[in-house]
Amino acid sequence: MKITMIGTGYVGLVSGACFSDFGHHVTCVDTDAAKIAALERGEMPIFEPGLAELVERNVRGGRLGFTTDLVRGVADAEAIFIAVGTPSRRGDGHADLSHVFAATRDIARALVKPAVIVTKSTVPVGTGDEVERILRDEAPDAEAWVVSNPEFLREGAAIEDFKRPDRIVVGTDNDSAAEIMREVYRPLYLNKAPLVFTSRRTAELIKYAANAFLATKITFINEIADLCEAVDADVQDVARGIGLDQRIGGKFLHAGPGYGGSCFPKDTLALLKTAEDFQAPLRIVEAVVKVNDSRKRAMGRKIIQALGGDARGRTVALLGLTFKPNTDDMRDAPSLAIVQALLDAGARVRAYDPEGMDQARPLMRDVEFASGPYEAAEEADAVVLVTEWDVFRALDLKRLASRMAQPIFVDLRNVYPTEDLLEAGFSWHGIGRGGNPQAVQMRDPHGETVPQAARSAVRQRNET
């Protein structure tokens, strides 16, 4: 099939490259001439594992091309995907649909044959109706059907998610459009990916509901982590204990500094605005948004408390800046709020991230950037693990501690076992792990209090 992808951002580029890898002929269109020129040179505008190789292979095979000429890009297409950005509208939280509607008008003027117009962008309920209205106004004689086909790609694992999806949601009531969409996704039939056909408005809502539910799971376990610290329980054991229940599942139950990125923050806000417009308030989602925003700021206070309550003149090394590993995406990353809190408290901040520093520099102008984790820790008063990149999972902890002015380790992702950090000489602070282990005590079989550092020995005695 011939497919056109309008927009070469995260969703458009990954989707276009994957479709071409299935054997479809794909043209990616973007108004940004510099971006198109870079893509033609094989330079990726985003970091996504495997994407550069995927694009190069399909460009070389003649199945994938790039252009700024929408008329040429649309001319022979049987399926035209709109994959432009829908950021939160400044001031009110509604999704900004200006790029979606502009793309629709351009498509309407370029249509020369029957085609499905597919909204791949994340859009509020009813957007497809407006896209259809614009098409009818701009090209009343055109034979085109508007379909909703939301994406469910995780940054850092997008290619795998596209090629082996949990489900494919298609929103249309038109038989001709449904048949074209079946053909678009026919290569995935071998993987037995569920193809879910529903109404257009339902498909639009599925995307928002899915992201809101995942954001809720993250926020729930983060609040449970706070309770764990208060009662001296272990959130990782709690998460495993509840996650083994198949009705709950273990994914998205990892306590941390709060969610960020390009989807959850803006999509939860947009869903709330839709609910408000239709007078169907979503109180749980409202709470999720508020708790997540406050959590990011609370992480800054947690680091300051680890420093004894005063960060003025102290050096804090941050390991990881992006909102998650395997991406260079800094949008709504928890590190932004953490850095601001530390700077406001008078701290000096030094940071290292394997892929995100170019994106972070314009957002963190008062931060010193290091060439690696050990360089970031040089003479630092505390090291904070913010993003769980693989490169941070097997650090030489003794080497790290030896380079620091004070060996304080704040693990906001619970990557390291307590015993390993204590053995390396660190004062350790984690998430939902009973607070500061040096301050938490327990009783041995004889009723005596025992420091956290000796807990493993007490447990061994109890077991023998």
Find out whether 24 and 304 touch, Cβ atoms under 8 Å. no
What Cα–Cα distance (Å) separates residue 460 from each residue in 446, 450, 455, 464? 15, 13, 9, 6
Provide the β-strand partners of residue 351.
Answer: 318, 369
> Is 263 labeled as catalytic in the residue annotation?
yes
The beta strands (E) that lie in 267-420 are given as 315-319, 348-352, 368-369, 382-385, 408-411
**Residue entry with tokens 């190789």:** 53
- Residue 328 to residue 155: CA distance in whole angstroms: 9
Give the list of residues 6+ apart from residue 19 with CB closer than 8 angstroms, or none: 3, 5, 26, 184
CB 426, CB 409: distance < 8 Å: yes
- Closest among 243, 253, 250, 248 to 215, alpha carbons compared: 253
What amino acid is encoded at 225 in this protein? A
Q: Which of 137, 80, 90, 89 is nearest to 114 (CA)?
A: 80
Q: What is the CA radius of gyration of the chain?
A: 25
Could you give the count of Cα atoms lying within 13 Å of 258 in the half-sphere of its Cβ? 23
Catalytic entry in 18, 28, 228, 263 = 263
Name the residues annotated as catalytic: 263
